Structure 1
Amino acid sequence: MLNNILDELKLNALVITDPYNMRHVSGFRGGEGALYISATQKVLITDSRYTEQAGKESDFTVIEENRAHNRQTILKECMEKETVSGDFHMGYEDQSMLCCEFDRMKAALPVQVWTPLGTKIDDLRQIKTEEELTYLARAEEIGDKAFEKLLKVVKPGMTELEVAAELEYLMKKEGAEDLSFNTIIASGLNSSMPHAIPGYKKLEVGDFVTCDFGCKYKGYCSDMTRTFVLGKASEKQKEIYNVVLKAQLAGLAAVKAGVSGSSVDKVSRDIIAEAGYGEYFGHGLGHSVGLFIHESPRLSPADDTILQAGMIETVEPGIYVPGFGGVRIEDMVVVTEDGCRNLAHSPKELIEVPIEE
């Protein structure tokens, strides 16, 4: 695939510095360094903290960078091994490389034509292998198990921070190696903020509690959201929850290979709008997940990418009413030829957590 990119863009070589792309292309998990790739060379440049690890994880030629032999010098030496007539064309990751890093390369290397790669390297990660799907499923399973245990211990008086810490601990106990992102625990009025930051607010009887969480397993992320009520739900809470659930189930049913991300988004968005809550659903319906938590393609009005089998998508509609609270329900699914395979198995009917008297 990289050779196809070299040929398509008429490049003599390309440099990859994004840590997720470095891992996907080379197998190296350290995240620090750069890859130089041409038709004849595959070089992994990193420092002494990672050279032994890189040699074990990657089949690339590993070269150590240090103050006396810096990255720009190594890249120049790689270029000098190429047989090039005319201008040297180099591809670089303009979507992720810092301007200062690009400026250093541009000043040091005898490159006549710099070609931005856009999302071409990122796009190589869109369709997951069976091995990747196994890791993603395991990460989501860890979240399922942790959430089940959380429901047995959550109670009024716990702060949002305490609930987040408990959930993160439970995921680690189940085998998570890290978090996919900072855990979101939003209770009561805070649940109207889609990405609320857990704070010192204490959970109260009657609160909506939105839990958005995920973990990493062998580097691959999970993502799940469940909203429950602490105690008995009010009629208004039930109404909003059931609208979101209906939209989420319809979105799941719309996911399959051959349809666009925007068309799936519209299915769920129309249901929420028809129920009178359209103004309270502002974000996209979902996104892909892999080595990074927010990947492409997305289920969004702005993304017309055609879904393909083997892609991962989240389906996460929500309604967020300031001054009242909010609901989000999210699953992570594998796109298949005729539908999708849901990796999340936590219950989605409205959970009313019993309160001990």
Structure 2
Amino acid sequence: MNYRSRIRRLQAALDRNRIDAALITSPASVRYLCGYSGTEGTLLVSRRSATFFTDFRYSEYASALLANTRVKLVVFSDKLGSLEDAMKASGLKRIGVEEEHLSLSLARALEGMGVELVSAQSVMSELRAIKDRDEVEAISKALRIAERAFRDTLGKVKVGDPELQVAALLEYRMKSLGAENPAFDSIVASGARSALPHGVASDKAIGCGEIVLFDFGCRYRGYCSDLTRIVYMGGVDGEMEALRRIVLKAQRAAFEVIKPGVDVRTVDRAARRVIERAGFGDRFGHGLGHGLGLDVHEYPRISPKGKGRLRRGMVFTVEPGIYIEGRGGVRIEDVVLVTSSGFRLLSRLRRGGEVLGC
């Protein structure tokens, strides 16, 4: 990962926005800028330098990690005191912060130091939205792991298995294939529970004749994968299969408009129009997709209220769905990379509703 280049890009953005320095507190942004993945780490990036703050527990790890970078390491016994000393020494007054990841106590402490806090949330979000080659490779590897784990797990699913047990098998297999951990709690929702747009695996036993929805992903080198597929237990459910075909048509419609410069709302609208025309507009209540990277949900948000236009290097999900309360639901989720002229599908898993034996 080219951390020097990322810090330089942030410094250029600070200069454009007339911000003296950015105080980076979200774990994902810290990892993005310097590779650190411990639990206690704060990065102060000014227009000319970068300083990383941690405590004694992580000093050896941080020292080795930052050895070949231009990031200065400060091991503190008093975090606030060390931050104040660094800001005063460099005359930093206007500090950009990620307000979604800044505690109220830290914000008050910083203001007590006499600095002005301004938002750098969009600056960091937009930087992280454009993936470099290393990031695309890591996301692709996370996808390959998740895809293989899913295929392997399907071979072990039996009628009567609790959803939680199946989710555990899937997550174990992802880790055994090299994942750091699941990207989120895997969703395995069977029968009527598949109509929960963001359900969780439960102790419900999977029944013969039911649809089963899987929403799963893993982390590889910090980067996430995110996929959703459905399978049928014992035979194809005609009603759910009709929904699956509509969902696939909606996804293809979204694919057709993906290219640099397109408004994110246009992508959402392309898919949503297909579902609305099929008579299920009120059964698709979430956004079409979200950016994917070190966090499982990142900028851009592909939704009716999303902001911004697609740019080359963005990676995001496309996941239309239809949910019929009390009956079941279908969602198909894939991952795309915006290229110079269109898009490249990074996920490779079959979209057909596989049938498992009872």
TM-score range, shorter chain: over 0.9
Give, in whole Å, the separation in 1 of the partners of 2:46 and 2:247. 49
Give the SS at the match of 1:61: strand
Q: Which residue of 2 aligns with 1:71?
A: 79
Residue 237 of structure 1 deviates from its aligned partner by 1.8
Q: What is the aligned counterpart of 2:100 among 91, 95, 108?
A: 95
For 1:199, the equivalent position in structure 2 comes to 202
Give the aligned residue type for 2:241: K
Identity over aligned residues, as a percent? Answer: 37
How far apart in 2 are the matches of 1:306 and 1:250? 18
Poorly superposed stretches of 4+, deviation over 6 Å:
none
Aligned residues between the structures: 347
Distance 1:348 1:163 in 2: 20
Which structure 2 residues correspond to residues 113-132 of structure 1 after superposition, within 5 A?
Answer: 113-132=116-135
Q: Determine if contact 1:256/1:340 at 8 Å carries over to the other structure.
A: yes
1:185 counterpart residue number: 188
2:114 maps to which residue?
A: 110
Could you state the TM-score of these two structures normalised by the residue count of structure 2?
0.93
Write the deviation string for residues 77-104 of structure 1: whole angstroms up to 9, x where unpaired. 11232257xxx22222222201112112
Of stretches 53-62 and 145-154 in structure 1, the one that deviates more from structure 2 is 53-62
Task: State how far apart, in whole Å, the 1-side matches of 2:114 and 2:262 are.
Answer: 45
Does 139-148 or 256-265 show the bigger shift?
256-265
One-letter identity of the residue aligned with 1:141: R
| Structure 1 residue 224 displacement after superposition | 0.3
Measure how far apart 1:122 and its partner are.
2.3
CA–CA distance in structure 1, aligned partners of residues 127 and 39 of structure 2: 18
The one-letter code of the counterpart of 1:339 is: G
Select the structure that is richer in helix: 2
SS in 2 for 1:15: strand
Is this contact kept in 1: 2:11–2:45, CA < 8 A? no
TM-score using structure 1 length: 0.93
1:205-249 deviation digits (Å, cap 9, x = unpaired): 111100000000000000000011111123212211111121122
Unpaired segments ≥5 residues, structure 1: none
1:150-165 superposed matches below 5 A: 150-165=153-168
SS in 1 for 2:344: strand
Name the CA distance, whole Å, in 2 between partners of 1:267 and 1:225.
20
Please state if 1:316 is matched with 2:319: yes
- In structure 2, the partner of 1:11 is 19
| Residue 47 of structure 2: aligned partner | 39
Relative to structure 1, the CA distance from residue 174 to residue 83 in structure 2 (aligned partners, 3 Å threshold; closer, same or farther) is closer
1:1-357 equivalences in 2 (<5 Å): 1-58=9-66, 59=69, 60-66=71-77, 70-82=78-90, 88-107=93-112, 109-111=113-115, 113-355=116-358
TM-fit CA distance, 1:192: 0.4
**Structure 1: which amino acid aligns with 2:348?**
H
3-state secondary structure, aligned to 1:119: helix
